[in-house]
Structure 1
Amino acid sequence: MAELSLNNVVKRYGALEVIHGANLEIADGEFVVFVGPSGCGKSTLLRMIAGLEDISGGEISIGGKVVNDAEPTERGIAMVFQSYALYPHMTVEENLSFGLRMNGNPKADTEQRVRRAADILQINELMQRRPKQLSGGQRQRVAIGRAIVRQPRVFLFDEPLSNLDAELRVQMRVEISRLHKQLGTTMIYVTHDQTEAMTLADKIVVLRAGNIEQVGAPLDLYDDPANRFVAGFVGSPKMNFLPGKVIAQGAGGVTVQVSNEAGATITLPVSSTVAVGSEVALGVRPEHFGDAGSGDADLTVEIDVAEHLGNTSYVYARMAGDIPLIIERPESRHSTHQQQLTVSIVAARTFLFDSAGARLR
């Protein structure tokens, strides 16, 4: 079993604390993605799991065994880095087998493992090539193959697709997802790209400034974000935030005046107690805007740019007060620069956040 547990894990560099008491449970065979902006601590957390960074406090356990003081080679993990780190003078076959050969693994078993990895990754025809003769995607498959031959209990991926072009990233995401289903091994994947997180993960861990903000299945985070940071980070294009002021609260919920929009008020089904006069933010995803009159409050916006992507368009616009909005429209071929557009927001699909970014429910 390769379940993994973090119990109040802390990382300090001198007086600077960069990971603040992380707690996390990862089930055996689960695909977990650490996601967050640059500098949030996701790679540091991964390196502590791998044993490449000492922990300053707390416990890390793999398969029920505390591994705080265990060497990386004793943890049953294999890591795939952003840089492929292949030996340029070796063939693909030699790169795949090198670690096993250095550990004195029996030759027959090494050959069997290498063949299996090559079959899984469909790189049999590349075995006698050297890294300089491979494309970026082929090199990344070899790097993953080098991890597979070790037959680890846990795979760790540290932004493995960052060096690939957009089309190849999509292809490799599919291959990594297929690999996980085929092997059934616990995988932890670090990325700053929330699209990778949404498409790959069984469970997403959203980090900010060394703290775990929320943990959950991709669509759970999308549909029910814990705070404004998670709401704005998960989803592409990102959520819109409209400033507002609370003007009433009653049995029906909280009534908000949308700032700078004369007459635009909306009552949200929120039971949290919010003081009248409080500044709040309404979160609306681009795809949740409706046609004028179809929702609970209408907004008239000025279009700056419209991106036409075939059956969908993204309208980049400004509401009163020069507040930017992104609005998804089906086949909005008519949208032009400086055109006004009236859209509607629906109370049931609108999130409410207080001035500190906490979710009001």
Structure 2
Amino acid sequence: MAGVSLSKVVKRYGAFETIHGASLAVEDGEFVVFVGPSGCGKSTLLRMIAGLEDVSGGEIAIGGRVVNDVEPSERGVAMVFQSYALYPHMTVEQNLSFGLRMTGNPKADTERRVRRAAGILRIADLMQRRPRQLSGGQRQRVAIGRAIVREPDVFLFDEPLSNLDTELRVQMRVELSRLHKELGTTMIYVTHDQTEAMTLADRIVVLRDGHVEQIGRPLELYDDPANRFVAGFVGSPKMNFLAAEVVDAGAGTVTLALVNHAGLRLTKALAGPPPERGSRLSLGIRPEHFAAPGQGAADLTLGIDVVEHLGSTSYVYASAAGEQIVVERDEQRRSGGADSLTVAIPADVALLFDGAGQRLR
């Protein structure tokens, strides 16, 4: 096993820079997820760790050894791709052992590694089948098994579940979490699905446009985002944002007027330097944090557009003065066909972001 560290890593394609000085450290045995929207650079970063992309600047170290100029096969990593890339004419057993056989690994050790991987992934009864005889989930297990037999120091996963249907994705998330606990090996996982990230990760690295926005444990990012981007990206449904203007600010407090809701004001504690009067801010509140009318700093009446019932929880998709708002409400299951909903905004759980999207604390 080994940790992975990146120090001011840059990636350029000609004059175009896609990764802008990324620095982070993955501890030995940690499961870290790179997450962000399409095109943010997460797969590029993973491929640089694997050695499939050159590093334009900075250093990548695995197990304390700088690997910028080390061949991919010598880095002690194994990568699982989005496509299964199985050899269709080979059996599962042959697919698992192929890489080891090609490097001249002793037959007895190869057989041991294949048996071990098959046992861990519970595919021992599939060993004589060919890929066309397997389900999507079974093919993905075989692809992961090919990585396991290499007994790497670090596993790299590049959106491995994106080709699976919803039910299989949930099942495979559980399997991957179990696999990490069983192997205890360092794992770095790339996904654009923040639900996957929240489920699997010890820590999450949130990326945007080639920049590392924030690194932290899943609930740290959810409860204490550094900026509006992280606040809006982490969590499903997403955080609500309301336009606000500073009408008064003093030592320890700020009073806001909700721009699109005449007469609605709230006062919130603020530890840092107060913003100037007239400053435009965004007030963020998660769907589950709305309170019953009269139990917060300001009451807001919404017109209900759609109610989404998800078993024990319902999400109300509503609008008010042109702002789209999502509210989590269990009792909405029993409210019939109401066309409006009044909720309160508790000031203590609301978050504030300045015009540049940075968090005000």
For 1:158-177, list aligned pairs within 5 A: 158-177=158-177
The range that moved more, 254-263 or 99-108, is 254-263
Equivalent residue, structure 1, for 2:77: 77
Query: Is the 2:3–2:26 Cα contact (8 Å) retained in structure 1?
Result: yes
Query: Is the 2:250–2:274 Cα contact (8 Å) retained in structure 1?
Result: no
CA distance in 2, matches of 1:336, 1:269: 37
- 2:327 matches 1:299: no
Query: Is the 2:31–2:180 Cα contact (8 Å) retained in structure 1?
Result: yes
Equivalent residue, structure 2, for 1:178: 178
- Measured against aligned partners, the alpha-carbon deviations of 1:271-328 in whole angstroms (never above 9, x if no partner) come to 33201001110000001011111111110110011111222110000012x1100010
- Amino acid paired to 2:318: A
Equivalent residue, structure 2, for 1:289: 290
Name segments (4+ residues, structure 1) moved above 4 Å: 334-338
Query: Is the 1:304–1:338 Cα contact (8 Å) retained in structure 2?
Result: no
For 1:234-245, list aligned pairs within 5 A: 234-245=234-245
TM score, norm. by length of structure 2? 0.98
Gaps in structure 2 of 5+ consecutive residues: none
- Amino acid paired to 2:276: A
Equivalent residue, structure 2, for 1:105: 105
Give the share of equivalent positions with the same residue, in percent: 73
CA distance in 1, matches of 2:33, 2:315: 28
Aligned length: 360
Instruction: Please provide the CA RMSD for this pair.
Output: 1.0
Gaps in structure 1 of 5+ consecutive residues: none
CA distance in 1, matches of 2:141, 2:19: 31
Query: Is the 1:303–1:337 Cα contact (8 Å) retained in structure 2?
Result: no
Query: Is the 1:282–1:353 Cα contact (8 Å) retained in structure 2?
Result: yes
Q: CA deviation at 1:263?
A: 2.3
- Amino acid paired to 1:280: L
- 2:78 matches 1:68: no
Query: Is the 1:308–1:331 Cα contact (8 Å) retained in structure 2?
Result: no
Equivalent residue, structure 2, for 1:17: 17
TM score, norm. by length of structure 1? 0.98
Equivalent residue, structure 2, for 1:311: 312
CA distance in 2, matches of 1:257, 1:335: 30
Equivalent residue, structure 1, for 2:145: 145
The range that moved more, 309-318 or 46-55, is 309-318
Query: Is the 1:292–1:343 Cα contact (8 Å) retained in structure 2?
Result: yes
SS at 2:278's partner residue? coil
CA distance in 1, matches of 2:308, 2:196: 22
SS at 1:280's partner residue? strand
